[in-house]
Copies of this chain bind each other. A is one copy, B any other.
Amino acid sequence: MKATLINIGDELLIGQVVNTNASWMAEKLNDVNVEVERIVTVADNPREIIDALENELHFADVVILTGGLGPTKDDMTKQVLCRFFDAKMVVHQPTLKHVKHYFEMRGLPFSELNHHQADVPDCCTVLFNEVGTAPGMWFEKSGKIIVSLPGVPSEMMFLMTKYVLPQLEARHADVVILHHTILTQGIGESFLADLIADWENHLPDGFKLAYLPQAGLVRLRLTARGTEKMNLHKKMADELEKLSDLIQPYFVGESNDTLELIVNKLFTKNRLTLAVAESCSGGALAAKIVSVAGSSAYFKGGLVAYSNEIKESMLGVSKEILAQFGAVSQQTVEAMAKGCRERFGVDYAVATTGIAGPTGGSDEKPVGTVWIGVASPSGVTAQKYQLGNDRPKVIERTVNQLLGDLIKILNRDGKNNV
């Protein structure tokens, strides 16, 4: 099945917004065997939208449009589709009820414009948008599928995951696709590729490996396509076993789970508590932990100790340590982790201190120098890393490195009950 994505929005054409929807959608569609052949971005303009749709329907079996479904007059996708399908606009009652409720909940007045959010062309199947006000729409015409989704990433992702991907996958149920993701840390992409080159070159037919590097970690994604399910599962297990042996020292986890979700599961299942003391990561670590629902069950809180005074007054790091070794040192990070563990009264406490840049580096401690510390019932450990010289990346890598280290330490402590 071949697909085109049409992303609608002036904001994409003036460069105000980076098109992250396209890459997310392309990856997920690939997972269900739908090949994205073209991605087209056009303006919120009826002529442009129609031209793009007509043109792309020549090549593609599926065209997915995003954007232009808001309530304001620069959003015109719905009207364009209604005309394209020669349909009549009707009110979708469940959506109307939902939109009214949405406004009531927020104590907002419900205007005429908002009422139109519930209008849909009468020839479409509505994809009910629980997480926003613009409904998704599924059309079929001359054997082709046309789907229209809101451009807000969280709403698009919800509708893709709940409706579009399963329904597209069901259209070619004869092909079996398996995916398996392995999380590695502590080895760069090219070195990892060298390490497993021989294994990769001898993968069975229908198998494909993708390297998905993120700040400080590399995900390996093994995809297998075939027609016999049992056989494919067996082959997949064999290949994963060989791979696991090769990458053992860098292995962190075996799922598509994010690091923060793995941490969440480990702490929750093992009934442990966690607190964080952050300098260079400045709250990004706590924010990552808290982004997972249910984190309040194990996460007690954290301290962003961005200045030395705060490291002293609120974590009990001694003036002497700060004066003798500096804020970015093994001694300081260990004292931070220890102080954090005591003051928050938790089982595990982690700490970061480093130079995120762009200024503040020296020959001895260049930008990107980061110390990570972990205090646990079995003692305090610290590790130094060099994490590049780009401020946002240094922060992101610090967070990922710390979460990965924490998972390894929990595993070492026998807490691997996920």
- Residues of chain B lying within 8 A (CB to CB) of residue A386: 105-107
Judge whether A302 is part of the interface by a CB distance below 8 angstroms: yes
Task: Give CA–CA (A27, B17) in the complex, Å.
Answer: 10
Task: Give CA–CA (A42, B36) in the complex, Å.
Answer: 9
Q: A12: which of B26, B287, B288, B358 is its contact (CB, 8 Å)?
A: B26
Judge whether A324 is part of the interface by a CB distance below 8 angstroms: no
Given A15-B30, A38-B40, A108-B191, also A306-B291 (CB < 8 A): no
Judge whether A63 is part of the interface by a CB distance below 8 angstroms: no
- Residues of chain B lying within 8 A (CB to CB) of residue A16: 23, 27, 210, 212, 221
A193 near B73 with CB under 8 A, answer yes
Judge whether A388 is part of the interface by a CB distance below 8 angstroms: yes
Q: A314: which of B30, B189, B314 is its contact (CB, 8 Å)?
A: B314
Interface size of A as a range: 35 or more
Q: A343: which of B19, B314, B366 is its contact (CB, 8 Å)?
A: B314
Minimum C-beta distance from A218 to chain B (A): 10
- Residues of chain B lying within 8 A (CB to CB) of residue A307: 296, 300-301
A193 near B26 with CB under 8 A, answer no
- Residues of chain B lying within 8 A (CB to CB) of residue A389: 105
Q: Per-residue 0/1 for A240-270: is the Cβ within 8 Å of any B Cβ (1 yes, 0 no)?
A: 0000000000000000000000000000000
Given A191-B111, A210-B74, A291-B395, also A390-B18 (CB < 8 A): no
Task: Give CA–CA (A343, B36) in the complex, Å.
Answer: 55
Judge whether A174 is part of the interface by a CB distance below 8 angstroms: no
Given A72-B211, A286-B304, also A19-B17 (CB < 8 A): no
Judge whether A48 is part of the interface by a CB distance below 8 angstroms: yes
Judge whether A407 is part of the interface by a CB distance below 8 angstroms: no
Minimum C-beta distance from A404 to chain B (A): 17
Judge whether A323 is part of the interface by a CB distance below 8 angstroms: no
Task: Give CA–CA (A309, B345) in the complex, Å.
Answer: 10
B19 near A310 with CB under 8 A, answer no
Interface centre among A23, A28, A294 (most CB of B within 10 A): A23
Minimum C-beta distance from A43 to chain B (A): 6
- Residues of chain B lying within 8 A (CB to CB) of residue A131: 390
A26 near B40 with CB under 8 A, answer no
Stretch at the interface among A83-91, A136-144, A276-284: A276-284
Q: Per-residue 0/1 for A21-52: is the Cβ within 8 Å of any B Cβ (1 yes, 0 no)?
A: 01111111010000111111111000010001
- Residues of chain B lying within 8 A (CB to CB) of residue A284: 283, 287, 290-291
Task: Give CA–CA (A313, B154) in the complex, Å.
Answer: 37
Minimum C-beta distance from A303 to chain B (A): 6
Minimum C-beta distance from A202 to chain B (A): 14
Q: A303: which of B12, B20, B114, B303 is its contact (CB, 8 Å)?
A: B303
Top 3 nearest A-B pairs (CB, nearest first) are A283-B286, A282-B290, A15-B27
Q: A38-B42, A107-B386 provided; 18 other pairs, C-beta below 8 A?
A: A13-B35, A13-B38, A14-B26, A14-B27, A14-B223, A19-B39, A37-B43, A71-B189, A105-B366, A154-B392, A154-B393, A278-B283, A281-B287, A282-B291, A283-B286, A293-B358, A303-B304, A304-B304
Interface pairs (30), CB distance under 8 Å = A11-B210, A12-B23, A13-B35, A13-B39, A14-B30, A14-B36, A15-B23, A15-B24, A15-B27, A16-B27, A18-B20, A18-B22, A19-B22, A19-B39, A40-B41, A70-B190, A74-B209, A108-B188, A109-B191, A276-B304, A283-B286, A283-B302, A286-B306, A290-B395, A293-B391, A296-B306, A296-B307, A300-B309, A301-B304, A314-B314
